[in-house]
Amino acid sequence: LSSTDPLARDADPGQDEGLLSPGTAGTAAESATGDAAVLRALVDAEAALAAAQGAPPAVVAAINTAGAELSVRDVALRARPGGNPVIPLADLLRQGVGSAAGRDAARYVHRGATSQDILDSALMLVAARTLPGVLDDLGRTAAALAALAAAHRDTPMAGRTLTQQAVPTAFGLKAAGWRSLALDARDRLHAVRLPVQLGGAAGTLAALGGGVPGGSGDAGLTLVRAYAGELGLLEPALPWHTLRTPVVDLGAALAFTCGALGKAAADVLTLSRTELGEVAEGSGGGSSAMPHKANPVHATLVAAAAKQAPGLVSVLYGSLVAEDERPAGAWHAEWPALRGLLRLAGGAAAHAAELAEGLRVFPARMAENLRLTGGLVVSERVSATLGKARARELMDLAAERGVSFADAARDEGHGDLVDPAGWLGAAGSLTDRALHRS
Amino acid sequence: LSSTDPLARDADPGQDEGLLSPGTAGTAAESATGDAAVLRALVDAEAALAAAQGAPPAVVAAINTAGAELSVRDVALRARPGGNPVIPLADLLRQGVGSAAGRDAARYVHRGATSQDILDSALMLVAARTLPGVLDDLGRTAAALAALAAAHRDTPMAGRTLTQQAVPTAFGLKAAGWRSLALDARDRLHAVRLPVQLGGAAGTLAALGGGVPGGSGDAGLTLVRAYAGELGLLEPALPWHTLRTPVVDLGAALAFTCGALGKAAADVLTLSRTELGEVAEGSGGGSSAMPHKANPVHATLVAAAAKQAPGLVSVLYGSLVAEDERPAGAWHAEWPALRGLLRLAGGAAAHAAELAEGLRVFPARMAENLRLTGGLVVSERVSATLGKARARELMDLAAERGVSFADAARDEGHGDLVDPAGWLGAAGSLTDRALHRS
Amino acid sequence: LSSTDPLARDADPGQDEGLLSPGTAGTAAESATGDAAVLRALVDAEAALAAAQGAPPAVVAAINTAGAELSVRDVALRARPGGNPVIPLADLLRQGVGSAAGRDAARYVHRGATSQDILDSALMLVAARTLPGVLDDLGRTAAALAALAAAHRDTPMAGRTLTQQAVPTAFGLKAAGWRSLALDARDRLHAVRLPVQLGGAAGTLAALGGGVPGGSGDAGLTLVRAYAGELGLLEPALPWHTLRTPVVDLGAALAFTCGALGKAAADVLTLSRTELGEVAEGSGGGSSAMPHKANPVHATLVAAAAKQAPGLVSVLYGSLVAEDERPAGAWHAEWPALRGLLRLAGGAAAHAAELAEGLRVFPARMAENLRLTGGLVVSERVSATLGKARARELMDLAAERGVSFADAARDEGHGDLVDPAGWLGAAGSLTDRALHRS
Amino acid sequence: LSSTDPLARDADPGQDEGLLSPGTAGTAAESATGDAAVLRALVDAEAALAAAQGAPPAVVAAINTAGAELSVRDVALRARPGGNPVIPLADLLRQGVGSAAGRDAARYVHRGATSQDILDSALMLVAARTLPGVLDDLGRTAAALAALAAAHRDTPMAGRTLTQQAVPTAFGLKAAGWRSLALDARDRLHAVRLPVQLGGAAGTLAALGGGVPGGSGDAGLTLVRAYAGELGLLEPALPWHTLRTPVVDLGAALAFTCGALGKAAADVLTLSRTELGEVAEGSGGGSSAMPHKANPVHATLVAAAAKQAPGLVSVLYGSLVAEDERPAGAWHAEWPALRGLLRLAGGAAAHAAELAEGLRVFPARMAENLRLTGGLVVSERVSATLGKARARELMDLAAERGVSFADAARDEGHGDLVDPAGWLGAAGSLTDRALHRS
């Protein structure tokens, strides 16, 4: 069983293919953020920069062609001495374009740029390509939850606080709350602004038309706009190589998404418990040991995402402290954290959509559970209607007679007060209001 | 030296007065978030709820009077059995109001509410009272940085990447970047929405007019609006007892503020180094050991805030996962984290304002440091102008002759290319653009 | 309801007295870590240093006397310009000692030391004074859990995985697992080494006998040992002003403690749910809204601590990166995080002890819940004994006949296989083994 | 430039090959923790379990053979419905073994186990295979630092506190401090205990020999020992499926390693600054924009690891709260965090070793920098020797005469006091002591 076993796999063992990430494996966000997608975006950024600088279409095409022939692993390994993948990428593209289109063509590659211009822009591009899928899944989630909320607008269930049944609520209101969080996530992701980064070695655009002796510097500003246009990203007011607002805003919206969906997952996990049985996932996950089990796997994987996101986003908040014109470490620390959050949010949204669309709701179990306290779950209503003293009397009476609070109330002619369905408050109105939000 | 020394202090040893928090001690944010301010806000929330429910002015006044007589420590200790301070607060207010204004008056206290309605609303109120001061200090910071940026629009200094001098930049652009982050923080804090929380035991408003048998539930919704009006907070679409968007949005903006100011602090710390000497705080902090030292204390304290905020905000992201109608732990974990972030951001803004207003800038040292590389700091310009091959020749020539790159370039008639002031790119234009943002 | 209400409290509003920390308010750890305790420890460190340097007993006594007269708030506010409380403390002690015992006596105060020598040593002293109480409470917790484990060694209950009943387990094994985590926490806290810090301005002991011209430097090393002896702390191999192993080791053990106790709390919260009802806290916390509720407050407060600790300990891991001979921010960021962890762990241990000592266990409910799946909870046993095919047949038979799996098994003569008590595996042996650990 | 460009890569875009992780790409830790290595360890765990249960060698070999033929990606995708890779793995192995060796052989696969038994054990195995390389690199780091410390035992340099030159220290002491942290990391990693996990569905060993009707349960305990023996891992006292001490202990030691090495990296980054120039990495990394730059890339990548580790370890501390007999999310959240920490620590150790072995030290620049304050860096010595009043007089004298403090002291006959080399305190002795630690 040694690690040098002759059966040991020959394939490059460093690569990850999702084995430890069932919550993101096979999702659109996984492929949109994989190394191949990142490399594609890096090449796109180089091609866009050349195009914005007036490179002939054939040169731009040559950059794309050269880029398509690169090996991710080769670039990754060559990235080590310089600490980032753009240094070898630019060299390899220059070689490729030079071979295909000549030395003059090669001069267009990475002209005046610094690694960060390409890498930051590429990660924004990756985000721009990942977010639509996440938003779609949030939309699916919200739509399914809206249907559940409407269908169960008046379905009574126990409201639970600090794990104990407190007073009744309605399942519709609960689903409407989950939906409102999904919409909050959607709105925050929609509001994220994804700009290009372009500034050159120290953010002054000096080698990008900003520094032409005698010039006004405006050529550099114009170039930033053209570059943004090529990539379909926004034009920033300032190069943001060390002003990391775009990264934190994006990361914060993604971490919010994970946590917001995590609330629904937590509730589904609780309500799915064998002893509660109020909801179940459409098709529960199996078990390697127990044939009868139907596990709430979607909820579990969303919950796992919600537990990972806070740690990752804390890295991004920390990297706001980006010293000098390029920080030694804070920038590099962002990359895996940002990709991780894109994936976690994408995976969580995909699983939440499956969860919401397939969720089965069991009103009968909700009603049954509401009977567990023998009417105490509506003691608030009795108190509010008859006064605390009378409510206390009824409790004492119940204890004395060895019957439930509900039975004691019924015996005393207050049976109308102990129906949970009569104490849902504004649950219906709140649900209606929440469903008006689009 | 024993801890039971007769000299040991008798004062209640559990209270904190800022001894370990020099970055927040004595700031407006500290007092606006202290336990006394929190207790005041809790009482305000109770009074507002009574007023919104139609309590006579004398009853509202009695609540305030009773609240003003409470001991923070007493409430804190009584909070232990129930796990939150509102349970004893409501009891104490009922007693106080009852004694002063009679039992009927006491019935208005905490009517139909749950602890979370009061505590969540009070913390939003605390935030509403703290943020104006933070925004003022961010405004002071931004104004001072704008003046620095304008004054040093064309002051050359070394741009540094991965700790090494790279190419020149201008101090104005650096200060403009710091300002843009301060404005980003301001904008994010301005955008934060602070709603009241009101929902009753499980968020249905059942005991708050939402559940009147035969009623429409709309009375509850109307009450939420009135309550919001009394407190000057926003009316939420839904009770948010377990939909924690307001808490995370607020916390995220505060953590952003700490990190954004932390970037400026990091740069000031670097530029203040004895060996760089390009800036200095107006009045450096002293040392207990070395009389000659003038430490960059404001920057140090801002940096310390930026290091603490990511951990605290991660708690809030985690607490989005708020199960049931009130979570057992996630809610309680928010309180110190949210207060901590309010304080850290407030303290960081106060120290950043002092820092920015007092910062001394030394252009001569900047110029001197720009000469340290013997012209290599502008090798990019030589390359861009004369071609890489010629630049390489000049480097070889310099090595051969044992002179600096700048000297070799001058010898060869390219002296005009090695003046750092001639390679600032669009720094000036970028600074102008950044300063247009208001 | 304005914040400038004439009723607004006059007391210094910046101080905290535990209002937002019900989990730590009133605990021994709170008072052992309060600002008064920290100030006492700072004074103790100054006195110890003087004593170790040969100050006459009267001078040492004068330091203690002067220290006892200081106002925490005054020192806190004076700490702002220098960024740490030791700078004003040393000045105030010098003045106090000078007034009482003359200028020569005052020269002993803070001689050759730097702020960090005193503050780091004082925080270790605070830890040394706090940990015994935490260990006591962990001991109480473990003892109570041992009794529960022994008493319920053979009490069957449902084992639950991914929220679903899986196979039976025994409550004794669960309690033994909780205990093993409490013992793990105890062992980690016991193993923490608490050294003094002494190094002078840059950690060379130059002004502390290490730098006497012509001397060997050994006087400095001897002084460190004497200082450690005075304070009852360990002698470190090197000054650790920027080698923060002691801080992280301590913080890690404390965060572990919170999380370890958090596991038991999470289980108690689940098992206390109205629908499970398998355990209950000895005396549940009340509610401000619902008279019938008995909330699992101890478990809630432990859970809240477990949610806060990861964010705080992440600050300490980050502060390992302590640049130079004293970092500008990383050191300052440690103080509140370390104190926070001491308090959270202390509060969690205190509440865990109460929880464990008062926990009520309901074997009948456990048995009842084990019947909920109609025997499927022991389908593993049927499978293991009769084979998967036969188990599947029995399931089909049950479905066909509309009876439970257990009934179908009994009908087929396998009633002995569906008693949960017969499928507890090695639970008893494992519990016995776990209880042997002391 | 669309993402659906015909040039878009066909390769599965979800896989990661290190493109965004230059700090770990190509390191031994990367390959030891890659998905292929994890799959290998999962298969090893299944094979070991079969062997421990008495499977004939041919069956064990068949498991290994079947495992070697599996596709990582296939298993990863099949893992989604159940939420973990062991469920499909066990099925695939059963099929493979069944085809090769018959149905009876297949029955040995995963017999009585649950997914967590295999996955937890496999991750411990991955750790066991990764740590030796990390320890080797820590050993290389420590050895190189020991040589630096010895060589520069008496090399004076400026000690810096809060970024300002404070008093002299020696480079040897600094290097000795870095080494002591590397040794602390080594000791903590050495102390980590890596146990197998085996408990079956709910940790009772019921289907693993612990539940044989009429049996004592001891067969299950014996099996755990045999399983541990097969894998070369430790035998735990209890199944730790929800007692996550081993995971947190491992993660904490790894996060410590990253931070400990991060301290040295931070110092190297500072000392490498163009303006300080006291050290340089052996071969600096290039730049895509500036030909002259030699960046401290090893230090940058170590610093990046130190910034990521705190967020990841916070996830593990959070996952201590593992409810029930298997948590729904907390367990799943551990996997990427734990692998991430193994990689970060491994990458950091590898780069730290390169850094330490190649570090160039420039005593002349250290001496030059020590002259920057004109002698104030030794004002502490003048104070300590001549008294504060006389030191102040000399400062005033220097100001009056427009000369440096050192010159003024020399003029007054105190030239012997202003040599930094004479105020190194116990630096040499401390270095000697530190180097005795092995």
Query: What tens digit of pLDDT does each residue of D69-126 get?
Result: 999 999 999 999 999 999 999 999 999 999 999 999 999 999 999 999 999 999 999 9
Count of CB pairs separated by less than 8 Å, B with D: 121
- Residue A169 is inside which H or E element, if any? strand A164-170
Residues of C with Cβ-Cβ distance to D429 under 8 angstroms: 210, 216-218, 220-221
> Across the interface, do A13 and D23 touch by the CB < 8 Å criterion?
no
Residue of D nearest to C156 (CA): D204
Residues B210-229 have pLDDT tens digits of: 766 556 668 999 999 999 99
> D269: which chain B residues are within 8 Å (Cβ-Cβ)?
163
CA B81 to chain centre: 33
- A/B interface, count of CB pairs below 8 Å: 324
Residue D267's Cβ-side half-sphere holds a number of Cα atoms within 13 Å equal to 30
- Identify the contact set of chain C against chain A, taking CB-CB distances under 8 A: 158, 160-167, 269-270, 272-276, 285, 287, 289-297, 300, 310-311, 314, 318, 369, 372-373, 376, 379-380, 383, 388, 391-392, 395, 405
In this prediction, residues B346-366 reach a mean pLDDT of: 98
- Contacting residues of D for B303, CB less than 8 Å apart: none
Of the residues B287, B360, B371, B433, only one is catalytic, namely B287
Residue of C nearest to D430 (CA): C238
Q: pTM of the prediction?
A: 0.96
Per-residue 3-state assignment (H helix, E strand, C coil) for B66-96: HHHCCCHHHHHHHCCCCCCCHHHHHHHHHHH
Residues of D with a Cβ under 8 Å from any B Cβ are 158, 160-167, 269-270, 272-276, 285, 287, 289-297, 300, 310-311, 314, 318, 369, 372-373, 376, 379-380, 383, 388, 391-392, 395, 405
How would you write A88-129 as a 3-class SS string?
HHHHHHHHHHHHHHCHHHHCCCCCCCCHHHHHHHHHHHHHHH
Which is catalytic among the residues D78, D107, D326, D410? Answer: D326
pLDDT in tens, D170-192: 999 999 999 999 999 999 999 99
Shortest distance between the Cα of D8 and any Cα of chain C, in A, equals 40
* pLDDT tens track, chain C, 438 positions: 333 433 333 445 568 999 999 999 999 999 999 999 999 999 999 999 999 999 999 999 999 999 999 999 999 999 999 999 999 999 999 999 999 999 999 999 999 999 999 999 999 999 999 999 999 999 999 999 999 999 999 999 999 999 999 999 999 999 999 999 999 999 999 999 999 999 999 999 999 987 665 566 689 999 999 999 999 999 999 999 999 999 999 999 999 999 999 999 999 999 999 999 999 998 766 655 555 678 999 999 999 999 999 999 999 999 999 999 999 999 999 999 999 999 999 999 999 999 999 999 999 999 999 999 999 999 999 988 898 899 999 999 999 999 999 999 999 999 999 999 999 999 999 999 999 999
Query: What value does the mean pLDDT of chain A take?
Result: 93
Alpha carbon C306 to chain centroid, angstroms: 9
Strands B279-280 and D156-161, how do they pair? unpaired
Confidence tier at D8 by pLDDT (50, 70, 90): very low
**Rounded-to-integer distance, Cα B193 and Cα B190, Å:** 8
- Rounded CA-CA distance A328/C85 in Å is 32
Residue showing tokens 């025994």: C170
Reported as a pLDDT band with limits 50, 70 and 90, residue A210 is: confident
Substitution target from B77, B118, B269, B308 for chain C, most C beta carbons within 10 A? B308
Chain B residue with Cα closest to A209: B425
In this structure, chain A runs to a length of: 438
Find the closest chain A residue to C274 by CA distance.
A164
Residue C360 has phi, psi (to 5 degrees) of -100, 135
Cβ(A49)–Cβ(A227) under 8 Å? Answer: yes
B78, B107, B160, B326: which one is catalytic?
Answer: B326
Beta carbons of A199 and A205 less than 8 angstroms apart: yes
pLDDT digits (tens, 9 = 90+) for B239-268: 999 999 999 999 999 999 999 999 999 999
B315-331 residues labelled b (16+ CB within 10 A) or e (exposed): bbbbbbbbbbbbbbbbb
Structure tokens at D361: 């030290």
Instruction: Give residues with Cβ within 8 angstroms of C387, minimum separation 6.
Output: none
Residue that the structure tokens 């505060």 belong to: B254
Q: Which residues contact D31 (CB under 8 A, 6 or more apart)?
A: A12, A13, A14, D37
Quote the minimal CA–CA distance from D35 to chain A in Å.
5
Q: How far is CA A381 from the centre of its chain?
A: 40
SS3 per residue for chain C: CCCCCCCCCCCCCCCECCCCCCCCCCCHHHHHHCHHHHHHHHHHHHHHHHHHCCCCHHHHHHHHHHHHCCCHHHHHHHCCCCCCCHHHHHHHHHHHHHHHHCHHHHCCCCCCCCHHHHHHHHHHHHHHHHHHHHHHHHHHHHHHHHHHHHHCCCCEEEEEECCEEEEEEEHHHHHHHHHHHHHHHHHHHHHCCCECCCCCCCCCCHHHCCCCCCCCCHHHHHHHHHHHHHHCCECCCCCCCCCCHHHHHHHHHHHHHHHHHHHHHHHHHHHHCCCCCCEECCCCECCCCCCCCCECHHHHHHHHHHHHHHHHHHHHHHHCCCCCCECCCHHHHHHHHHHHHHHHHHHHHHHHHHHHHHCEECHHHHHHHHCCCCCHHHHHHHHHHHCHHHHHHHHHHHHHHCCCHHHHHHHCCCHHHHCHHHCCCCHHHHHHHHHHCC
Nearest Cα neighbor of C438 from C191, C187, C257 is C187
User: By three-state DSSP, how is residue B25 classified?
Assistant: coil
Q: CA-CA distance, A265 to A284, in Å (whole number)?
A: 14
Task: Write the burial class of residue A25 (CB in 10 Å: 0-12 exposed, 13-18 middle, 19+ buried).
Answer: buried
Say if CB B159 and CB B167 are below 8 A apart: yes
Closest CA to D178 of A276, A210, C325: C325
State the smallest CA–CA distance between residue B106 and chain A in angstroms: 13
Question: How far A213 CA sits from the closest chain C CA (Å)?
Answer: 40
What is the DSSP-derived secondary structure letter of residue D249?
Answer: H
Distance CA B1, CA C48 (A): 8
CA closest to B214 among chain A residues: A422
User: Is A242 exposed, middle or buried, given 0-12, 13-18 or 19+ CB atoms closer than 10 A?
Assistant: buried
**What is the rounded distance in angstroms from the CA atom of residue A374 to the CA atom of residue D230?**
55
Q: Put residue D83 in one of left, alpha, beta given phi > 0 → left and psi -120 to 50 → alpha.
A: left
CB contact under 8 A, D115 and A288: yes
Confidence of residue D394 (pLDDT cuts 50, 70, 90): very high
* DSSP assignment of A192-227: ---B-----TTSS-IIIII--TTS-SHHHHHHHHHH
Instruction: Collapse the DSSP code of D158 into the 3-class scheme (helix H, G, I; strand E, B; otherwise coil) and give the result.
Output: strand
User: What type of residue sits at position C327?
Assistant: P
Distance of CA C357 to the CA centre of its chain: 18
Chain D neighbors of C270, CB-CB under 8 A: 323-324
Which helix (H) or strand (E) covers residue B432, if one does? helix B427-436
pLDDT band at A10 (very low <50, low <70, confident <90, very high): very low
Q: What is the DSSP letter of A234?
A: B
Q: What is the mean pLDDT of residues D275-299?
A: 81
Give percent of chain D above pLDDT 90: 90
First to last CA, chain B: 58
Pick from A270, A276, A379: which is nearest to C291 by CB? Answer: A379
pLDDT at A350 over 70: yes
pLDDT of residue C209: 86
| Mean pLDDT of chain B, nearest integer | 93
State residue D209's pLDDT score: 86
Angle between helices B57-68 and B35-52 (to 10 degrees): 160
CB contact under 8 A, C181 and D245: yes
**What does the pLDDT average to over D251-277?**
98
Q: Do B275 and D272 touch (CB under 8 A)?
A: no
Probe site for chain C from A169, A270, A271, A274 (most C CB atoms < 10 A): A274
Q: Average pLDDT of A13-35?
A: 92
Q: Residues with Cβ < 8 Å from D52, sequence gap 6 or more?
A: D223, D226, D227, D229, D230
Q: What confidence tens digit (pLDDT) does each residue in B284-324 have?
A: 666 555 556 789 999 999 999 999 999 999 999 999 999 99
User: Is C2 an annotated catalytic residue?
Assistant: no
- Output the six-digit token pair for B372: 């340290």
User: With pLDDT > 90 as the criterion, what percentage of chain B qualifies?
Assistant: 90
Q: How far is CA B304 from CA C114, C189, D124, in A?
A: 19, 27, 36
**d(Cα B378, Cα B165) in Å, to the nearest integer?**
10
Of A9-18, B105-114, B183-192, least confident by mean pLDDT is A9-18
CB-nearest to B296 from C75, C129, C328 is C328
Nearest to C263 among D180, D252, D321 (CB): D321
Question: Token pair for residue C68?
Answer: 């006892």
The SS3 assignment for A159 reads strand
CA distance A203 to A205: 6
Rounded to a whole number of angstroms, the distance from the CA of B124 to the nearest CA of chain D is 27
Q: Give the count of Cβ contacts less than 8 A between chain A and C.
A: 122
Tell which of B157, B161, B162, B373 to mutate to test the D interface (max D CBs under 10 Å). B162
C319: nearest CA partner in chain A: A318
| Contact check, Cβ <8 Å, C325/D169 | yes
Q: Are B428 and B153 in contact (CB under 8 A)?
A: yes
Question: In angstroms, how far is CA C50 from the centroid of its own chain?
Answer: 33
Q: Are A389 and B174 in contact (CB under 8 A)?
A: no
Query: For C414, phi and psi rounded to 5 degrees?
Result: -115, 30
Q: In this structure, which amino acid lies at residue B81?
A: P
The pLDDT tens digits for A377-405 are 999 999 888 988 999 999 999 999 999 99
The whole-number average pLDDT for the span D21-50 is 97
Q: Which residues of C touch B84 (CB under 8 A)?
A: 22
Cα of A292 to nearest chain B Cα, Å:
27
Which has the closest alpha carbon to B359: B111, B102, B158, B151? B151
CA atoms within 13 A on the CB side of B394: 32
Tell me phi and psi for residue A280, to 5 degrees.
-150, 145
D151-172 pLDDT, tens digit per residue, is: 999 999 999 999 999 999 999 9
**Cβ count within 10 A of residue D69:** 11
* A241, HSE (Cβ side, Cα atoms, 13 Å): 28
Q: Which two tokens stand for residue C421?
A: 């008590």
Structure tokens at D299: 């230090």
Query: How far off is chain D from B294, nearest CA to CA, in Å?
Result: 8
Whether the predicted pLDDT of A286 surpasses 70 = no
The CA distance from C340 to the nearest CA of chain B, in Å, is: 10
d(CA B429, CA B6): 68
CA distance C259 to B295: 39
